[in-house]
Amino acid sequence: MITSTQLDGVALVVGSGSGIGREAAFSLAEAGAKTVVFADKNEDTAKASSEESRKYASNKDYQTTTFTMNVQDAQSIQDMVDFVVKEFGRLDYAVNAAGVDNGVHAPVAEIDIDNFDRIININTRGNLLCVRAQVAAMRKQEPKTWTSRNGTRDIGRGAIVNLASANSFAGLPGKGCYTISKHASMGITKMAGLDHASEGIRVNAVCPTWVRTPLLDVEIKKNPEVQGMISAIVPIKRAAECEEVSDTITFLCSPAASYINGASLLVDAAITTTVRLF
Ligand SMILES: NC(=O)c1ccc[n+]([C@@H]2O[C@H](COP(=O)([O-])OP(=O)(O)OC[C@H]3O[C@@H](n4cnc5c(N)ncnc54)[C@H](O)[C@@H]3O)[C@@H](O)[C@H]2O)c1
């Protein structure tokens, strides 16, 4: 075990009622986070996930709660961050996993601009609003240090991880709205990491390709061709397990990643290194 992947602070996971966000919250609890706040627009799934996290938490003082919000509503994002700081004293790790891909496929010439606005509103504007509120809270708190075999180093005031995508690096035919929104997530990550590095705030992104979320299972059931596509395009021949992404998120939050900032880390089994589509 790499001891510096252990955590002990306060975590907020936006979009933790399902899929990658839910698993990220579980991984953070497992790695030792003292508090995990499950934020989502779906109150029921957030509550169920929050309760389930108690099974995995390793911190003896573990506490968890939920916050119902919508990334399309700037005030609800601010209220969420204010709630975390008021209730738990600080915000050490923030993961932004709320995002959508509504499955609409169209070449650029035929993009429905209302659909574009909808996707950008959640995936891009929502991401920026979350990062803005989280950074603003983190910059006010005291920095932390980490002591390892070679002494003590500054690990800053907080770490943020955005859910971008392999589509932050490459396109897929017909997936313009989603691809553009995920390129923007990479831009948000770079700018926030750059602007706030001197204040001890790290901002990174994980960029997965297909991940085995309940949503993907449903899609494959509806359209078995997707499974064939994954086998044909992904060099490892399978989708990623959620845990393979959530553990990467936890690593990026941890002291082990204290020099990684503004990075968009591909978790894609090398799919973006190949031009072989079928
Ligand atoms: N699943 C994949 O294959 C995959 C691949 C690459 C990137 N991603 C990205 O990872 C993130 C999570 O995807 P997932 O597959 O786990 O999705 P998911 O649908 O399983 O979970 C998304 C969660 O976000 C919440 N959410 C959606 N809109 C919201 C809003 N407006 N406000 C607050 N909460 C909201 C949902 O209620 C849900 O709990 C997304 O940003 C997605 O683009 C997913």
pLDDT at residue 30 is higher than 90: yes
Q: Identify whether 226 is part of a domain.
A: no
Q: Identify whether 82 is part of a domain.
A: yes
User: In total, how many domains does the chain have?
Assistant: 1
Which mutation among 27, 49, 211 tests ligand 1's pocket best, with the greatest number of atoms within 8 A of CB? 211
Q: At how many degrees (to 10) do helices 19-30 and 242-253 cross? A: 50
Instruction: Write out the residue range of the structural domain in which residue 52 sits.
Output: 3-211+241-273
pLDDT digit string, tens, across residues 39-92: 999 999 999 999 999 999 999 999 999 999 999 999 999 999 999 999 999 999
pLDDT digit string, tens, across residues 197-253: 999 999 999 999 999 998 788 888 888 888 898 988 899 999 999 999 999 999 999
Instruction: Assess whether the C-beta atom of 210 lies below 6 angstroms from ligand 1.
Output: yes
Q: Identify whether 268 is part of a domain.
A: yes
Q: Identify whether 216 is part of a domain.
A: no
Which long-range contacts does 79-83 make (Cβ < 8 Å, 24+ apart)? 80/12, 80/14, 80/37, 80/39, 80/133, 81/12, 81/133, 81/134, 81/136, 81/137, 82/137, 83/37
Distance (Å) from CA 148 to ligand 1 centroid: 35
Which are the catalytic amino acids?
A: 178, 182
Q: Identify whether 223 is part of a domain.
A: no
Q: Identify whether 227 is part of a domain.
A: no
Instruction: Assess whether the C-beta atom of 97 lies below 6 angstroms from ligand 1.
Output: yes
Residue 252, domain CATH: 3.40.50.720
Q: Identify whether 196 is part of a domain.
A: yes
Q: Identify whether 200 is part of a domain.
A: yes
Assign 276 a pLDDT band (cuts: 50, 70, 90): low
Contacts of 153 (CB under 8 A, 6+ apart): 145, 146, 258
pLDDT digit string, tens, across residues 106-145: 999 999 999 999 999 999 999 999 999 999 999 999 999 9
Contacts of 216 (CB under 8 A, 6+ apart): 210, 226, 239
